[in-house]
Structure 1
Amino acid sequence: MDDRLLEAAEGGIPAALADLGRLVRIPGIAWPAFDQEQLRLSARAIADLASGAGVFDEVRVLTAEIPGSGEQGQPAVLATRRARRGRPTVMLYAHHDVQPPGDESLWDTPPFEPTVRDGRLYGRGAADDKAGVMAHIASLRALREVHGDDLDLGLVLFVEGEEEYGSRSFGRFLADNADAMRSDVIVVADSGNWDSDTPAVTVSLRGNAKFHLTVRTLDHASHSGMFGGAVPDAMLATIKLLSTLWDSSGAVAVPGLAVRDADTPEYSEEKLRDETGLLEGVQPIGEGSILSRIWNRPAITVTGIDFTSVAAASNTLSPEVTVVVSARVAPGQDAREAYAAIEAHLRAHAPFGAQLTFSDVDCGDGFLVDTSGWAVAEAREAMRDGYRRDPVDLGVGGSIPFIADLVRQFPGSQILVTGVADPHSRAHSPNESLHLDTFRNAVRAETLLLARLNGRTV
């Protein structure tokens, strides 16, 4: 049976990649500044793919209200099939929205024109996370080809359309559709692998706390020559304030932020440089093993700033500056607790009596996977057979805060966090890409996992 399943999975790869290319061409971005019709087109295309897989009883495109706003969130696809003869129900999650392309001049090929070169498929969303969508669809097609009408597994395909924009209606969507979505196992295909050949089960994720900080020192701009040296401008205050967030090594220096104590695999500085593009002569930051810094310790990054551009610069003392601060929170610490610690630190260190305003606070908790359940064991075995490599347990420095919503809504579900990306996928960056052999192996592994769960009784 495994041989037949793997043959079906392999045979379906060309069609899956062609469908992935069509999805990549749809610039479905959830930010309001972008054309929202593209998200609707993307959702409809995925609903058609789900219907065409031939395994679902019902396929719908739905939205849910964003709590407290009176507005509807972006469209999600929900496809369902009831389990038969005591088989488990498996939810397959992915998202079809993508990050904005950013500066298109930094792309080697157009971001929404799928391009294959050197064994990789390039394009925005090619890895994050339309490849996750197509890994699910391709696995279901292979399962259907081999099992036909004998398929007893319950299935839920949930492809949301706003993950990159904060999953604002996610919790409400789960509540609105709880009966249809209740599952024994949830597979979240939105993470990555150890490398392009070695699969991974993600067992920890950092939380996040993002906010806007506005620093004010003046009620109007002034001439920097006439008053500079006596009057603190907002940029000076901002630079001095932000510098207190890190120590001399670059490690976060905010009291109250937790550090998780956990072993990490061997990972060299050379590997870090290869996977990140760290420039020659630039040294890594932080303390402890490299992976502990990424997986188990907090990190703080300034990701945006509202200030005069270089082209428009003048000799002026600025009255205010606004920055976006993005913090990653160690797994196990409450994200709002971490945010409170950062806010308290910044207020205590405001230089020159600068006035601080905090806004647009967005917090999401990290996640620690319970690896003792039977679903994790089945996933590891399927990965071993699908990739022909032993899987590793992976921590991820990024955040998937909606997993906490899944745990709250479906506390009895076993959650598996997997993915099709590799360290060179450059998710969220120019020249995002999918390693084609990794995708092929991911489809092989998921096909085996679903087939084996189809033979299990709960």
Structure 2
Amino acid sequence: MTTSHTPLTAADLRARLAPVYDSVLAELAELVAIPSLAWASSDPAQVQASAEAVARFAGTRGFDSVEILRGRNTDGSEGYPAVVARRAAPEGRPTVLLYAHHDVQPTGDLALWETDPFTATKKGDRLYGRGVADDKAGVLIHLAALDVLADDLNVGVVLFVEGEEEAGSPSFRDFLERYRDKLASDVIVVADSANWAAGTPALTTSLRGMCAIEFSLTTLDHDVHSGVYGGLVPDAMMAMTRLLNTLWDENGSVAVEGLVGVRESEVDYPEETVRKDSGVLPTTDLIGAGPISSRLWRQPSITVTGLDNPPVAVSSNTLRATMRAKLSVRIAPGDSVDNAIASVKRHLEAHVPFGAQLEFGEVEGGNAWLADPEDPSVQIAQGALSEAFGTDSVFMGIGGSIPFIADLLEVFPGASILVTGPQDPDTRAHSANESLYLPDFEASIVAEALMLDRL
């Protein structure tokens, strides 16, 4: 039996947030100070320390249980630590899973940072530091929303804070299967995305999928002198250059037959906005065809992310026998990883130049995702974002991928998934000088509390 409930307003929740906001920022700063890189070359103890900090914060929020758990990778090794905390739902009420991740990207070149990446540093309305937005802010949005709801929380909650998202979530699927009962929920809120712009909220309703394909070309059985054989013997670099160039047409659109894409779009994305946000040079032409939002969200793309060739500083006059490359293929909603991998492989096989030998290496990927805009939970989330930010929320796509969403849908097919997040075009996630726009952080807390209240 359920009881009557008077819905809270954004003003109510913002007033409740004010007295605890500084402590929430202090917790965020404590998390940022931990270099929690889930990479083989980094210290795993730091990821453990980060998980312990998240568990300690969760322990003050009234959960029935708080655990640090691990899944297993496909080779049987242990995954990185995740935090799972549960609070049972009142009778007749739904359970909402709140997802974020506490691991971060490497810093890259420290010389490019204007502040210490592992010290949360406030400059104006922005807080700087590695992971401050992606995604340690997501962790604190979840926890702070529970703070402001307090005894008015009228749904069950599962907090799931992963520890290896930036490393590709290798143990994620095993984790979901292993702890299915602990994670079972009706609605899943993923706080790992972005808003349309600073001050303008968005609910992410489409994500491109992704697959990575490694392959090599061989034209010789050993490297030889370029002066002796150049102009007669095709080396692997020449063959690779010719093959890679077949992946795109003259305007830069993907030219691989079989990949799915939609060139129409209902959302206007001004060219000046994408130029400003991306940093593309004024003299550089944009690539592709169709509306910009379609090119970013609903069409495939292919990027060469790796190419084994000596750097200029150590290059020699040599014809290379073998060349290896890695492709990142972004998959449009409506396509699948299996189809994309098969289509790209067929294309490469059909376009190998000079009779070179083609050999495929590792592949990996995650499917695209498209939300149902008529889902009542989606409507609730959009209304909550609009009220909390004081301006209409936008339905937007993301050109990037969150592959684990496909796993969530397969393990929990009946759950609604809401993809939100505190980032904005100036966040620079994964880059130097990552930052969090604090007014949007505060509004995101209020918005999530409104969602939980109205769900």
Q: In which range does the TM-score fall when normalised by the shorter chain? A: over 0.9
Q: 1:103 aligned to 2:102?
A: no
Q: Provide the C-alpha distance between the structure 2 equivalents of 1:154 and 1:212, rounded to a whole number of angstroms.
A: 44
Contact 2:265 2:291 in 1 (8 A): no
Give 1:430's aligned residue.
432
Aligned position for 1:61? 68
Given residue 112 of structure 2, which amino acid in structure 1 is its aligned partner? L
| Match of residue 184 from structure 2 | 182
Secondary structure at the counterpart of residue 57 of structure 2: helix
Matches within 5 A, 1:243-258: 243-258=245-260
Listed one character per residue, the Cα deviations across residues 381-400 of structure 1 (whole Å, up to 9, x for unaligned) are: 21111111110101111111
Give the secondary structure class of the aligned counterpart of 2:160: strand
Determine the C-alpha separation between the residues in 1 that align with 2:205 and 2:60: 33
Find the counterpart in structure 1 of residue 333 from structure 2.
331
Aligned residue pairs total 447
How far residue 20 of structure 1 moved from its aligned partner, in angstroms, is: 1.3
Q: State how 1:154-173 maps to structure 2 within 5 Å.
A: 154-173=156-175
The letter of the residue matching 1:35 is: D
Deviations 1:399-438, CA, capped at 9 Å, x for gaps: 1111111111111111111111011111122221111111
Consecutive unaligned residues of structure 2, counting only runs of 5 or more, are 1-7
**8 Å contact 1:6–1:447 — kept in the other structure?**
no
Determine if contact 2:126/2:438 at 8 Å carries over to the other structure.
yes
Cα deviation 1:84-105 (Å, max 9, x = unaligned)? 1311110000111111112222
Indicate the residue corresponding to 2:24 in structure 1.
16
Query: Which of the numbers 22, 27, 42 marks the counterpart of 1:34?
Result: 42
Query: How far 1:225 moved relative to its partner?
Result: 0.8
Letter in 2 for 1:110: D
Cα offset for 1:371? Answer: 2.0
Q: Distance in 2 between matches of 1:158 and 1:6?
A: 25
Native 8 Å contact 1:209 1:336 kept in 2: no
SS of residue paired to 1:12: helix
| Inter-partner Cα distance in structure 1 for 2:330 and 2:262 | 13
Structure 1 distance, partners of 2:266, 2:105, is 30
The superposition leaves residues 135-183 of structure 1 with CA deviations (integer Å, 9 ceiling, x where unpaired) of 1111111122xx2xx6442000001111111111111111111112111
Give the structure 1 partner of residue 56 of structure 2: 48
Matched position secondary structure for 2:354: helix
- Partners of 2:37 and 2:105 within 8 A in 1: yes
SS state at 2:314 partner: coil
Q: How far apart, in 1, do the equivalents of 2:107 and 2:197 lie? A: 24
Let me know the Cα RMSD of the aligned residues: 1.3
Whether the aligned pair in 2 keeps the contact of 1:9 and 1:447 (CA below 8 Å) is no
Give the aligned partner of residue 279 of structure 1: 281
Contiguous gaps of at least 5 residues in structure 1: 454-458
Secondary structure class of the residue paired with 1:352:
coil
TM-score (structure 2 length as normaliser) = 0.95
Distance across 2 between alignment mates of 1:385 and 1:11? 21
**Structure-2 separation of matches of 1:64 and 1:237:** 42
One-letter code aligned to 1:66: N
Q: Is the 8 A contact 2:146 2:153 kept in 1?
A: no
For residues 161-240 of structure 1, the aligned pairs below 5 Å read 161-240=163-242
Shift of 1:262: 4.6
Structure 1, 221-230 or 260-269: larger mean CA deviation: 260-269
Partner of 2:262: 260
The partner residue of 1:75 within 71, 81, 89 is: 81
1:123 is matched by which residue type in structure 2?
A: G
> Does the CA-based 8 Å contact 1:6-1:448 persist in structure 2?
no
Does the residue aligned with 2:358 lie in a helix, a strand or coil? strand
